Structure 1
Amino acid sequence: VSPAAPAREPVLRGDETTERFAAATAALRLDDTQRDAVTAVLGQPRAGLYLHGPVGRGKSMLAELYLATFDPDTSLRLHLNELFRRLQAELIREWKAPAIVLRRLLGPVRALLVDEFHVHDVADAVYLSALLEVVAEDRIVLIATSNYAPHDLMPDPKLHERFLPAIERITAELGVIAVGSGPDHRALGDDGRATFVSGRWTITPGIPASPTPGVPASALQIDGIPLHPLEMADGRIAFDFAGICDAAVGVRQYQGIADRFETVEVRGVPDLAVVRREPLMRFATLVDVLYDHDVRLVVTSAAPFERLTDAEAPPVDSDRVISRLRALRG
């Protein structure tokens, strides 16, 4: 068991927080179920929030508005993938209990927004359980968004029982609020990701199912893993599908690309319905990372992106990926 940090005063939601959130949301054009969620936020007594619901329903927007009601000098927003990347990098450098490393990473943070909560494997469960422990013991306001209701967070029945204590902590300590069904605001292009949605998905018939990698322009190393882009200049980087999704790369490399470049081009994307499971998962992760960093994505493919759902083993959360790709121009 990791030692708790020194006791700190809790950050409580007061009248000023409520008034700021009410004013910020009153200026928005919200649909009925979004407005219901706002009313629920204003009426719940807890400082922390867990907003869940279908893709494209404005959960991140509402969460960011809520985070903005707290002191910006001690507030932090992270996508779950980014949080895991930072945590794993520290654990590789020096093995410590995840809770100890999280406290070091969060430092003075008093209000934390974590986007896209999910628990798909044992590592996810360990890290999120540690996060819930830290925010509870250190009295940090946690604001989480997810496509999953708390009791659906660990869909694998073999592992679900092990995550029940964490689920119970979420439901006991956070205000759990559903953002119900309605229009997909990502597809309508009004989700605030102005650069990502300026990208394109262009269908070019004749791309083979397993495209041959082109001749790389030069090597690029991110966290010790070499990448081989086809082109790299002026804030733009281009890969072929095989080079960026068949290769043994992962979220840390995609995060590094998003940090360095304004536009990412992926050429020669085959019909996603016939792509193997691992490259398909990497492609979905790449889309998630570029979307979260608001990096322009330009794709040339043999088929529409909706074919992703026809694959033999579609990625987990494929609905979210499709929703994000719908925001691209045709």
Structure 2
Amino acid sequence: MNSTIKESAESVERQVTRHFQAMLSARDFRADSAQQAAIEALAQWLGSWLRGRRTLLRVPAAGVYLWGGVGRGKSFVMDAFFSAIPLPAKRRVHFHAFLREVQVRLREISGQPDPLALVARQIAAQTRILCFDEFHVHDIGDAVLLGRILKMLVEHDVGLVMTSNYAPSGLCPNPLYRDRFKSAIALLEKRFNVLHVDGGEDYRQRPDIGQSWGHFRALRSTEDKDWLGRQSGLHAAAVQDVVIQVNHRPLRVRAHDAASAWLDFDELCRGPRSSADFLWLCQRFERLAIGVVPRLDGESIDVQQRFLNFIDIVYDSGIHLLLLGETHLDELLSDGAHTDFSRTHSRLQQLRITDELSGEA
């Protein structure tokens, strides 16, 4: 290997760590030891991956897997790392959006032999480093699809960096289809640098860091149901009580205009809606109003999972959310009811609670 390539890779490592420090300084933040270790691990991996030194006894790690509790700064670390990568062929994508993209590509080339392999080659031709946010698996279809395409992307030398709330061994807790994902877990544990990022503090709960991305109100009377309509920002000429087609399936909407939509929780989460449907809504509207969210402990796991997926997607899409709950925010779903609720609870806590007296947002 010539000295220029080696020096370039080493300078990339310094560039990543310097950029992280610059982002911290710009926000007047200080990294904890876990975050510092994470950015150093990412910088070292990137330098090694760019050098690409392979021997019979050693193959460079295929990527880095960062996991830890909610609000531990994983996304901030990913922000700094991604923006410092000196390659144009890089992508950062949320887990749900990536799955949706793969499914769309598969439909476009249906009838081809082994279409998933073709999709993997297409992605590899366009992307050298792919970064995933909020990696998790709770659906049998997702488990099968992700397991296969991860292996293919690694084989095509696409560098992969992921954040997750779960260690690889905890990614697919449902025993009904865990066996279908075991090979993917083994791949992550064997070929990736796995790092626990947990400094012990949920930074999203800090008043100087947490940001409101919408509003929440607890239902006090039947009259409060009109709060969504009043606060949704709907134009006076908004279409009322209409059925729209979302991914070729009907969805009843209480009202919508060009930028905002008001939907019932039952319509959104009790029927066979998918994450692709939630992504469609976020691409179509800038503001969503949802009510009335019941106490979720008494709901089926499918209803709970749809709501959690919905919150994930809306949060990461930058959509303004208005949420009307049957009860106070902390009482909607208990911590032990669903394995993913700690992440959802942290995100819901960033909604601005409306004034209990005036009811104004």
Could you state the TM-score of these two structures normalised by the residue count of structure 1?
Answer: 0.83
Amino acid at match of 1:327: Q
1:8-47 superposed matches below 5 A = 14-27=9-22, 28=24, 29=29, 30-43=31-44, 46-47=48-49
Residues 46, 174 of structure 1: 8 Å contact kept: no
User: What is the CA deviation profile of residues 283-318 of structure 1, one whole-angstrom value per residue up to 9, with x for unaligned ones?
Assistant: 11110110111111111112123334339x934411
1:241-282, CA deviations, whole angstroms, 9 ceiling, x for partnerless residues?
A: 122222332111100111121111112222333334333222
1:206, distance to aligned residue in structure 2 (A): 3.7
**Shift in CA distance, 101/64, structure 1 to aligned 2, threshold 3 Å:** same
Taking the aligned partners of 1:98 and 1:52, their CA distance within structure 2 comes to 27
Corresponding residue of 2:293? 269
Is 1:254 the equivalent of 2:254?
no
Letter matched to residue 90 of structure 2: S
The range that moved more, 173-182 or 295-304, is 173-182
Alignment match, 2:216: 201
Partner of 2:235: none
**Residue segments in structure 1 that go unaligned for 5+ positions in a row:** 1-11, 209-213
In structure 2, relative to structure 1, the CA distance for the partners of 1:157 and 1:272 (3 Å cut) is closer
Q: Which residue identity is paired with 2:38?
A: A
Q: In structure 2, how many angstroms separate the alpha carbons of the residues matched to 1:307 and 1:13?
A: 53
- Name the CA shift for 1:188/1:78 in 2 (closer, same or farther; >3 Å): same
1:221 counterpart SS class: strand
Is this contact kept in 2: 1:273–1:310, CA < 8 A? yes
Q: TM-score, normalised by structure 2?
A: 0.77
Match of 1:329 in 2: 352
Is 1:173 the equivalent of 2:194? Answer: no
Q: Distance in 2 between matches of 1:38 and 1:72?
A: 18
Task: Report the equivalent of 1:79.
Answer: 94
Match of 1:122 among 114, 134, 140: 140
C-alpha distance in structure 1 between counterparts of 2:250 and 2:208, whole Å:
36
Q: 1:147 aligns with which of 146, 162, 165?
A: 165
C-alpha change, 1:247 and 1:207, in structure 2 (3 Å) is farther
> Matched residues in 1 for 2:168 and 2:208: separation?
27
Letter in 2 for 1:243: E
Aligned CA RMSD, in angstroms, stands at 2.9
Q: Give the structure with higher Rg (CA).
A: 2
Q: Which residue of 2 aligns with 1:283?
A: 307
Deviation at 1:191, TM superposition (A): 6.8
Q: Is the 8 A contact 2:259 2:287 kept in 1?
A: yes
- The aligned amino acid for 1:281 is Q
Does residue 70 in structure 1 map to residue 85 in structure 2? yes
Aligned equivalents of 2:209 and 2:158: distance in 1?
Answer: 27
Q: How many residues align?
A: 311
